[in-house]
Amino acid sequence: MKKSITLISQEYKMSGIHRMESQLIKEWRKQGHTVNIIDNKCRSVDYDDLESKPVETIRESRVFFVKFIKRIKRFKQYFKAHPDDMIVALGWRQGCWAAVIGKFVKNRVLISERNDPTKNPTSAMRRRLRNFCFRLADVCVFQTEDAMNYFSPSIRKKGVVIPNPINEQIPVFDIKERENYIIAVGRLNPQKNFHMLLKAFASFHQQYPVYTLDIYGDGVLLEELTAYARELGVASAVNFKGFSSDVYPLMAKAAMYVSSSDYEGISNSMLEALAIGVPTICTDCPVGGARQMIEDGVNGLLTPVGDAKAFADAMCRIAGDKEFAERIAKNATDIRKKYPIQVIADKWIQAMG
């Protein structure tokens, strides 16, 4: 049965949530479902990659109370005109809007937690607000069992675990094309713990000075991290590359992919690195996304959160044992078979009921 879906979106272009939205929307439309988008933010998003513009763009007053009332009114108008649409919201902010709207209209509401619910949002008050709103939804989607188990039984009983899909457009790693650089991808913010990565790389670099570290992403910590690289004496070997919309070809030539996060949902970049077949190292961070995808020593390496020595040792193991690196990289590509976009998109449709 074909679905009619309206997705409430607010995330920046090429954030993890926006990339997830893009893949799902394209696949749902390919399968014949109707998908519309409401842009619920005060700054524009480039929807070119979705091959459509939002059907509704809500940018109201900056005064919170006025903004809240006007948005609710416009949401009500839209969904009363589309009573059969499933309301879908990825991320806790949009999930809260969707849950509140659902009390004024007859539409079913599906919301999804996309990060570690114990850490994001960062304040206890906002976490209580999110938990209250999640209880109002009809369906809650989580990336991992650990994320779902954080919530109360009333939320878990309408919860379903659906991992992220693998982008079918990504290339395959060619060992003959491998170059001596290590790649990391992510926003330059505290969650990603690039300070620990730089410390680990400085230790690794003493034994393997031929390697460089290329970090792709923008963020508030750029100057601080640049200064820390200088302090560690590795500034000449660390390259802050900024944001890139197409890191796949760069991953496909890297000696290894590294993720040093303190917490994550399921990292899209990690999934892509595994699927490409790059030797991958990740911290075994909450909420279990890395552990769900990586079997330590079989298709990648897991290290304790915040442990720079263990992370450096893992990097040395990959650099020093080419046979091991090739074996885990080859095993990692099996993830393509487990999580293709067609299967994941179908799971979302099934969850909608």
pLDDT at 48 over 50: no
- How many CA atoms are closer than 13 Å to the CA of 311, on its beta-carbon side? 30
pLDDT at 23 over 80: yes
Q: Yes or no: say if 233 and 202 are a contact pair by the CB < 8 Å rule.
A: yes
Model pLDDT for residues 88-132, shown as the tens digit of each residue: 999 999 999 999 999 999 999 999 999 999 998 989 999 999 999
CATH 3.40.50.2000 at 4-161, yes or no: yes
- Of the pLDDT bands very low, low, confident and very high (cuts 50, 70, 90), residue 42 is very low
Model pLDDT for residues 148-206, shown as the tens digit of each residue: 999 999 999 999 999 999 987 788 877 677 899 999 999 999 999 999 999 999 999 99
Q: What per-residue confidence (pLDDT) applies to 177?
A: 76
- Of the pLDDT bands very low, low, confident and very high (cuts 50, 70, 90), residue 40 is confident
Q: CA 283 to CA 261: how far, in whole Å?
A: 6
Length of the chain: 353
Cα separation values, 245 from 137, 212, 280, Å: 33, 21, 21
Q: What per-residue confidence (pLDDT) applies to 58?
A: 60
Backbone angles phi, psi at 299, to 5 degrees: -125, 15
- Mean pLDDT value across the chain: 91
Q: What per-residue confidence (pLDDT) applies to 97?
A: 92
Q: What per-residue confidence (pLDDT) applies to 59?
A: 56
- How many CA atoms are closer than 13 Å to the CA of 160, on its beta-carbon side? 15
Q: Do domains 4-161 and 175-337 have the same CATH topology?
A: yes
pLDDT at 45 over 50: no
* Homologous superfamily, domain 175-337: Glycogen Phosphorylase B; (3.40.50.2000)
Domain layout of the chain by residue ranges? 4-161, 175-337
pLDDT at 44 over 50: no
Mean pLDDT score, 306-334 = 96
